[in-house]
């Protein structure tokens, strides 16, 4: 429905079929909001928003009027520190919890990395001949004529 | 007149073809001849850049097969077999290590007596007649039906039916492995005093610790084997340098065999990955769900790769079966 509304605003929707949209835009809160937003967006895209240039100036002026405060919250914090020991403050516990969580996650990452290092770093058999498997195959498989060809190095560990 | 002679010639030729019309029968004959005849000779085995000469003596002594193989190159090694019991004497520096094995199809008994499994995966064709080890031999080509196995060329003695030579060929017809007699003679004696190892009194004889198969755990599923391959054995072996026994599953299509090794990856060890070829042997290593999976076989790379991918693990703890 919002898509149809957007199309209607852009003149891409048959207005004679748009009664339901207009009724909905008048009554329904969400669709009314959309109706207004789309118009604002369209106006902004066409550069039709008159106050835009004056906004910065108004904000700066308001800031000028604010009185200057030096360390405004210091007094309040001091009062709080005197009242409660550090470990009783909620801020302490939230920091402690964060530290513990970071350490826990870090430890897990560290541990999983130490396992993965082996798994992710396999031995390429093209570089490192798995002679123990070849020997076992030649020893137990039938029809293996290579039975006679076992290298000295193949039988060495036996 | 000449027409009649041609017809006669064709009829004679067809008779000759009929006598030899099934190459499978020639292969089956090699399986029986290797087990039933009494012979001695020397054969050479070559795989990749390795070569060994082996002296063989075989006798069928009242229904019991006795074989002695002496490896003549490299590390001294004697293989004595009686039926399917095989004892290997490995001479090392100061000792002789004795290993016991079971049921190998050793040369020249490379083919099983039942060829049904092979017929599903290969086509057999007659080749020419060639001389091998001074004897006439009928060539039979075993052509694979798919790319999951190599081809074989077999030379069978025309007189005794014995397998004289066999080569393993890749799809591009390259020779990967060969084994064949260079010298062969039939024995007339019934004497079996040759059936003993050469004992070296200066060395101590040590029995190799046999791998105990106490329990077999299998929480894996092998879903999609290459066509024609069946599981023929499952053993637990002790691999040197490993603290836990390793599962070895053996698959075969009747002649080619592939070993699949499965073991849990122990924390702190680096798993093996990748692919390698040594002569006719392909090796593929993979990690599946925290298990090390290694596949080794004298088969094309595609076959070891597919078997290594066929393994999946059920989501449960290892349970003794």
Q: Which has the higher per-residue pLDDT, B123 or A64?
A: B123
- Over range B86-104, report the average pLDDT: 80
- Over range A31-44, report the average pLDDT: 82
Closest partner residue to A140 (CB to CB) among B110, B248, B274 is B248
Residue B16: pLDDT over 50 = no
Average pLDDT over chain B, rounded to an integer: 85
pLDDT tier for residue A152 given thresholds of 50, 70 and 90 = very low
Q: Which has the higher per-residue pLDDT, B79 or A11?
A: B79
Q: Which has the higher per-residue pLDDT, B243 or B107?
A: B107
Q: What is the CATH number of the domain that holds B229?
A: 3.30.200.100
Q: Which residues of B201-211 are buried (b: 16+ CB within 10 A; e: fewer)?
A: eeeeeeeeeeb
Query: Are B237 and B111 contained in the same domain?
Result: no
In a domain, B58, yes or no: yes
The Cα–Cα gap between B84 and B28 comes to 19
In a domain, B77, yes or no: yes
Chain B closest-CA separation from residue A104 CA (Å): 22
% of chain B exceeding 70 in pLDDT: 87
Sign of the dihedral through C-alpha B270, B275, B276, B280 = positive
Q: What are phi and psi of B47, to 5 degrees?
A: -140, 120
Cα B288 from chain centre: 29
- Paired tokens of B9: 């010639």
Query: Are B116 and B171 contained in the same domain?
Result: yes
Q: Which has the higher per-residue pLDDT, B232 or B140?
A: B140
pLDDT (tens digit, 9 = 90+) per residue, A75-108?
Answer: 555 555 555 666 767 777 888 888 888 888 777 7
Least confident of A135-149, B158-172, B180-194, B297-311: A135-149
Residue B267: pLDDT over 70 = yes
Q: Which residues of A21-55 are buried (b: 16+ CB within 10 A; e: fewer)?
A: beebbeeeeebeebbeebeeeeeeeeeeeeeeeee
In a domain, B215, yes or no: no
Query: Are B146 and B35 contained in the same domain?
Result: yes
Q: Where are the domains of chain A?
A: 2-50, 84-119
Chain A closest-CA separation from residue B288 CA (Å): 11
Query: Are B176 and B248 contained in the same domain?
Result: no
Query: Are B170 and B264 contained in the same domain?
Result: no
- Paired tokens of A133: 């498997």
The helix/strand/coil state of A137 is helix
pLDDT for the residue numbered B185: 94
Chain B closest-CA separation from residue A23 CA (Å): 59
Q: What is the CATH number of the domain that holds B71?
A: 2.50.20.10
Q: Which has the higher per-residue pLDDT, B313 or B218?
A: B313
Query: Are B174 and B239 contained in the same domain?
Result: no
- Over range A41-51, report the average pLDDT: 73
Residue B304: pLDDT over 90 = yes
Query: Are B271 and B133 contained in the same domain?
Result: no
pLDDT for the residue numbered A155: 38
pLDDT (tens digit, 9 = 90+) per residue, A104-123?
Answer: 877 776 665 555 566 667 78
The Cα–Cα gap between B292 and B275 comes to 14
Does B294 contact A at CB distance below 8 Å?
A: yes
Residue B205: pLDDT over 60 = yes
Closest residue by Cα to residue B176 from B73, B303, B43, B46: B46
- Over range B12-16, report the average pLDDT: 46
pLDDT tier for residue B101 given thresholds of 50, 70 and 90 = confident
Give contacts of A155 with chain B, Cβ < 8 Å: 75, 90, 92, 97
Domain limits for position B97: 20-186
pLDDT tier for residue B212 given thresholds of 50, 70 and 90 = low
Strand-pair category, B95-102 with B122-132: unpaired
Average pLDDT over chain A, rounded to an integer: 71
pLDDT tier for residue B175 given thresholds of 50, 70 and 90 = very high
Query: Are B165 and B241 contained in the same domain?
Result: no
Interchain CB contacts (distance < 8 Å): A and B: 143
- Over range B226-244, report the average pLDDT: 82
The Cα–Cα gap between B249 and B36 comes to 30
Q: What is the DSSP string of A6-43?
A: HHHHTT-S-GGG-HHHHHHHHH-HHHHHHHHHHHHHHH
pLDDT for the residue numbered B41: 96
The Cα–Cα gap between B191 and B230 comes to 40
Question: Could you give the number of structural domains in chain B?
Answer: 2
Query: Are B83 and B127 contained in the same domain?
Result: yes
Q: What counts of helices (H) and strands (E) characterise chain A?
A: 8, 1
Query: Are B274 and B138 contained in the same domain?
Result: no
- Structure ipTM: 0.78
In a domain, B6, yes or no: no
A137 and B239 within 8 Å at the Cβ level: the answer is no
In a domain, B3, yes or no: no
The Cα–Cα gap between B237 and A135 comes to 11
Least confident of A77-91, B38-52, B297-311: A77-91
pLDDT for the residue numbered A158: 32
Q: Which residues of A65-100 are buried (b: 16+ CB within 10 A; e: fewer)?
A: eeeeeeeeeeeeeeeeeeeeeeeeeeeeeeeeeeee
Closest partner residue to B252 (CB to CB) among A123, A130, A142 is A142
């Amino acid at each position: 429905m919002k898509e149809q509304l957007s199309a209607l605003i852009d003149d891409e929707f048959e207005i004679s079929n748009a009664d339901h949209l207009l009724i909905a835009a008048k009554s329904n809160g969400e669709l009314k909001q959309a109706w207004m937003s789309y118009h604002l967006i369209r106006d902004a895209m066409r550069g039709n928003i008159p106050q835009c240039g004056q906004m910065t100036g108004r904000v700066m002026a308001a800031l000028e009027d604010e009185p200057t405060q030096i360390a405004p919250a210091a007094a309040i914090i001091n009062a709080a520190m005197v009242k409660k020991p550090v470990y009783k403050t909620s801020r302490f516990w939230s920091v402690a919890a964060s530290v513990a969580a970071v350490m826990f996650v870090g430890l897990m990452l560290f541990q999983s990395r130490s396992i993965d290092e082996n798994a992710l770093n396999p031995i390429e058999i093209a570089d490192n001949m798995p002679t123990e498997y070849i020997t076992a195959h030649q020893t137990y498989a039938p029809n293996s004529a290579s039975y006679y060809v076992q290298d000295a190095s193949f039988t060495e560990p036996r | 007149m000449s027409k009649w002679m041609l017809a006669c010639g064709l009829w004679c030729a067809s008779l000759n073809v009929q006598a030899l019309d099934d190459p499978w029968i020639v292969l089956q004959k090699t399986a029986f001849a290797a087990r039933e005849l009494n012979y001695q000779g020397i054969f050479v085995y070559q795989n990749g850049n390795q070569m060994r000469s082996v002296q063989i003596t075989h006798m069928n002594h009242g229904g019991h097969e006795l074989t002695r193989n002496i490896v003549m190159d490299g590390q001294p090694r004697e293989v004595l077999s009686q039926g399917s019991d095989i004892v290997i004497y490995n001479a090392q520096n100061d000792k002789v290590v004795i290993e016991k094995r079971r049921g190998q199809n050793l040369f020249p008994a490379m083919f099983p007596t039942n060829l049904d499994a092979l017929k599903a995966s290969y086509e057999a064709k007659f080749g020419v007649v060639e001389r091998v080890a001074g004897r006439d031999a009928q060539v039979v080509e075993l052509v694979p039906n798919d790319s999951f196995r190599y081809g074989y060329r077999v030379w069978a003695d025309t007189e005794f039916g014995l397998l004289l030579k066999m080569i393993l060929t890749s799809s591009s017809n390259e020779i990967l492995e060969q084994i064949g007699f260079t010298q062969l003679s039939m024995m007339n004696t019934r004497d079996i005093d040759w059936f003993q190892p050469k004992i070296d009194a200066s060395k101590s004889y040590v029995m190799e610790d046999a791998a105990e198969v106490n329990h077999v755990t299998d929480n894996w599923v092998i879903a999609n084997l290459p066509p024609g391959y069946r599981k023929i054995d499952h053993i637990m072996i002790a691999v040197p340098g490993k603290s836990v026994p390793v599962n070895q599953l053996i698959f075969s299509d009747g002649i080619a065999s592939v070993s699949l090794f499965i073991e849990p990856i122990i924390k702190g060890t680096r798993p093996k990955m990748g692919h390698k070829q040594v002569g006719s042997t392909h090796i593929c290593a993979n990690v599946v769900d925290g298990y090390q999976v290694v596949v080794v076989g004298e088969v094309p790379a595609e076959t070891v790769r597919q078997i290594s991918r066929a393994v999946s693990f059920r989501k449960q703890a290892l349970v003794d079966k």
